[in-house]
A = this chain, B = another copy of it.
Amino acid sequence: MSPPPSAQKAAKSRNDGVAAYMHERGEKARAAARVMARAETGTKNAALFALSQILIDEASEIQAANAADLRDGRSAKLDEAMLDRLELNADRIRAMAEGVRQIANLPDPIGELGDLKQRPSGIQVGRMRVPLGVVGIIYESRPNVTADAAALCLKSGNAAILRGGSEALRSNLAIARCIERALTDAGLPRDGVQVLDITDRRTVTELVSMPQYVDVVIPRGGKGLVAAVSEAARVPVIKHLDGVCHVYIDGEADVDKAMAIAVNAKTQRYGTCNTMETLLVDQAIAERVLPELGRIYLEAGVEIRGCAATRKLIGEAVPATDEDWRAEYLAPILAIRVLDGLDAAIEHIATYGSQHTDAIVSENYSRIRRFLREVDSSSVMVNASTRFADGYEYGLGAEIGISTDKFHARGPVGLEGLTTLKWIVLGDGHVR
């Protein structure tokens, strides 16, 4: 965590190169992880409250570093969306500090011990929640992730290695200095959170290839980053791939609820992973809902790509191809398919979906029950907008990411996703 001007050069001039640099980071993280794991709740919270305050106190230094990143970004002709994500203004720094404070106020998951069960042998058996150990987080332009990820790892008793984007290096290192101060002020090891001060691509390859030092890696960024990390990973990855979310309007849906949900799931925000990308409509109700839904979507500027039956009811719809059923548009485009009831809807979702979030709108108990049971997605909803698939909406208090995997963590992942359970056995001299 040395200051930026010399860091990149210094690191590159090391004889041993990136691999040695990363192994050193790994070793330090592994050692710090033991201290973080046994840190008391009060100590961790003290570090988090301190960090929240230091971010406010150092806002002008952070903004100065950020201004330099932005200047370089403009010279490098980064696009406007990327520059926007990169920018840390006073409001965003306050929001970042507030986010850290909220994480401090969450209950500490570590040390929780589930019901101890008495076994016939006389021993008592239960499970205690413990940290995973060392968490690697790889992210792109948004520098606020540095504070957010550090806070989540700290609260869950993990050590963290954070690898941000090169375009945000100065901003990330300015935040890293705040984190370091907060950790040391609270008596925690400075290596509890390490922000990499070089952004060579090989830092990523090394980070995901050190199972001896890293227990899990979480890529937070675009599909390209996530796919590259997953492909190279020799350690477990909590990953988020596509969000091809469906709303199925059943023949026995309440029309008002169906309209409200179908509109909200598509138009509340276009670029989020839990936005509906394909609307499925039972042919029994299509004539009653599609013409009006079509008008609302078109008014909102949503392009409609439909099957033949859809195009009969919405004249402006263009023909949908097989690719449209698989598309995650993240844009004001919607695919609509009219089909023959629940089985066809479940089949469509199994064939084309991405197991992210899918909703049924229906008043029919048996169909709802089957949809809940048979749709194999991380979130399955009844009469609610897919837009609710979110750690905050689910009451997790914070979200480290949304997992589209089935293993370990599925759907919105909060602090619990950064923990695991170990078995505790209490005896009184018991032997087998």
A residues at B contact (CB < 8 Å)? 34, 37-38, 111, 117, 119, 121, 123, 125, 128, 130, 132-133, 215-216, 236, 254, 256-257, 260-261, 263-265, 268, 350, 359, 370, 372-374, 376-385, 387-389, 393-395, 406-408, 410-412, 420-432
CB–CB A216/B407 < 8 A: yes
Residue of B nearest to A407 (CB): B236
CB–CB A393/B432 < 8 A: yes
Of the candidates B378, B429, B431, which one forms a contact with A254 in the assembled complex, judged by CB atoms under 8 Å apart?
Answer: B429
Of the candidates B123, B376, B411, B420, which one forms a contact with A388 in the assembled complex, judged by CB atoms under 8 Å apart?
Answer: B123
Number of copies: 2
Of the candidates B132, B379, B431, which one forms a contact with A261 in the assembled complex, judged by CB atoms under 8 Å apart?
Answer: B431
Residues of B within 8 A of A38 (CB): 370, 373-374
Residues of B within 8 A of A121 (CB): 388, 393
CB–CB A132/B394 < 8 A: no
Instruction: Give the distance to chain B from A380, nearest Cβ to Cβ, in Å.
Output: 6
CB–CB A421/B431 < 8 A: no
Q: Write 11 A-B pairs (CB below 8 A) sorted by A numbering.
A: A123-B384, A123-B393, A376-B422, A379-B422, A379-B424, A379-B425, A380-B423, A381-B425, A384-B429, A387-B431, A407-B420
Instruction: Give the distance to chain B from A240, nearest Cβ to Cβ, in Å.
Output: 14
A422 to B383, CA, bound (A): 17
Chain A to chain B: the 6 pairs with minimum beta-carbon distance, closest first: A384-B427, A257-B429, A264-B431, A381-B425, A408-B408, A379-B423
A394 to B425, CA, bound (A): 9
Instruction: Give the distance to chain B from A344, nearest Cβ to Cβ, in Å.
Output: 14
Given contacts A117-B395, A121-B388, A121-B393, contact A372 B424 (CB under 8 A): yes
User: Given known contacts A257-B428, A383-B427, what 19 new A-B pairs fall within 8 Å (CB)?
Assistant: A119-B394, A125-B393, A125-B395, A130-B376, A132-B406, A236-B408, A254-B429, A261-B429, A261-B430, A379-B425, A380-B423, A380-B424, A382-B424, A383-B430, A384-B428, A388-B427, A407-B408, A410-B421, A411-B422
Residues of B within 8 A of A430 (CB): 261, 383-385, 388
